[in-house]
Amino acid sequence: MSGPTASDAPAGAALTPPPEAEEPVRHPDAPAPGTLLGSHYDQCFGCGPRHPHGLHLVSRASDGVAVTAELRLQGDHQGAPGLAHGGVLASALDEVLGAVNWMLRAVAVTRRLETDYLLPVPVDAVLHLSARCTAVHRRKIYSTAEARIGSPQGPLAVRADALYVEVPMAHFTTHGRAEDVEAVLRDRPGIAADRAFEVNP
């Protein structure tokens, strides 16, 4: 019989860094605080400028290993009448948490995302999103995020904790739909470096 695995761990444990985890270190070539981060992929639901129904989030580098962004909730984002859908809010937080990885120059995917919905978020509200990395252990990146209504100091509506796992570029070329992968590699051969870091496949 095999021993316990990460999947057997209690849910909360998955988001608690092990004692040997390290403080995150801002990469020396990370974008300067205030710099707007470009989209990693035109068709990304979170940040892609060409996505017809996407959130079109633009993240901004902060001090440390952190980013901010703003999202105006619209009619298309409703779950209950006049209120934002929880999945849309989780997507927005996943996007800014993912953008934090750029400050480490790490390519990583979401392994676990845990959200607490504290307040309903009305359509037309502007959500101020912020995310920061709290710890790094080998390929694992631990981060936390907040969404506040109306201003960066506004009421806390949603918070999230997340675990990202660093992956090689082969993760995308192996698992992604071939036509999309081929198109992006043809049209943007430097995609892995576009956000100011290089990736060794």
Ligand X SMILES: CCCCCCCCCCCC(=O)SCCNC(=O)CCNC(=O)[C@H](O)C(C)(C)COP(=O)(O)OP(=O)(O)OC[C@H]1O[C@@H](n2cnc3c(N)ncnc32)[C@H](O)[C@@H]1OP(=O)(O)O
Least distance between ligand X and beta carbon 31 (Å):
15
Q: Of the ranges 25-33, 54-62, 109-117, 119-127, which one interacts with ligand X (CB under 6 A)? A: 109-117
Site string for ligand X, 29-68 (x = CB under 6 A): -----------xx---------------------------
Among 50, 138, 180, 182, binds ligand X (CB under 6 A): 138
Q: 3-state SS of the chain: helix, strand, coil percent to 5?
A: 25, 30, 45
Q: In whole angstroms, give the CA distance from residue 143 to residue 99.
A: 11
Comparing CB distances to ligand X, the nearer of 125 and 133 is 133
Among 77, 128, 140, 148, binds ligand X (CB under 6 A): 140
- What beta strand segments (E) does the chain contain? 60-61, 66-72, 108-117, 126-137, 140-149, 156-166
- Could you tell me the two tokens for 40? 């990693």
Does residue 90 interact with ligand X by CB under 6 A? no
CB 158 within 8 A of CB 146: yes
What is the arrangement of strands in the sheet containing 126-137, beginning at the earlier edge strand? 60-61, 66-72, 126-137, 140-149, 156-166, 108-117
Q: In whole angstroms, give the CA distance from residue 143 to residue 17.
A: 10
Among 50, 139, 152, 182, binds ligand X (CB under 6 A): 139
Does residue 102 interact with ligand X by CB under 6 A? no
Does residue 100 interact with ligand X by CB under 6 A? no
Comparing CB distances to ligand X, the nearer of 92 and 149 is 92
Angle CA(63)–CA(31)–CA(199) in degrees, nearest 5? Answer: 125
Among 25, 36, 109, 193, binds ligand X (CB under 6 A): 109
Least distance between ligand X and beta carbon 75 (Å):
24
